[in-house]
Amino acid sequence: MASLRGKLIVAGPKLYDPNFHRTVVLICEHTDDGALGLIVNRPTPVEVGDAVPELGELLGPTDRLFAGGPVQPQSIVLLAELEDPPEEALMVTGDVGLVLQGVDLEDLAAMARRGRAFLGYAGWGPGQLEDELERDDWIVLDAEPNDAFADDAEEMWGRVLARNGGEYALLATMPPDPSLN
């Protein structure tokens, strides 16, 4: 399978795992060794300035932390749109990349156009994501530049599906729990 780095995977209608139900995940790395992604549509009530004051200047103190996934939820993962990416960045798509340990936050503030902080990440071992794709747990879609930084995170699942038209637009109208319909 070709690498899905820079793609979105959108939780399919049969994926009821509470960690991923109705999520939109930006795949940041995908190799034979596994995959790493960030859930980009789960804001937390926690403000960046309260949780990580040193990131407050970079992201804005009232910006929310996002729940990036169930792996290492006590860790902060930083995604940024970078003008001149430092060596300590793993570029995901275009000028958007993960900021890795070792980058100076003052230098980062000068090169980052925008950013978002995540608590944890989503991870898959070798072949695990491919198995989930084969079971139709996920729908693979192209990412757009603003997806990782969208202000309407709660509506993102439906919006991302709808913009792809056809059967995806119909799926986008599905309520969170169809059994209540």
Question: How do residues 112-149 score in pLDDT, each as one tens digit?
Answer: 899 999 999 999 999 999 999 999 999 999 999 899 99
Q: What percent of the chain has pLDDT over 90?
A: 71
pLDDT exceeds 70 at position 180: no
Q: What is the pTM of this model?
A: 0.93
> CA–CA separation, 64 vs 45, rounded Å?
6
Q: Looking at domain 7-180, which CATH architecture does it have?
A: 3-Layer(aba) Sandwich (3.40)
> CA–CA separation, 89 vs 79, rounded Å?
9
Question: Structural domain boundaries of the chain?
Answer: 7-180
What's the pLDDT score for residue 95?
93
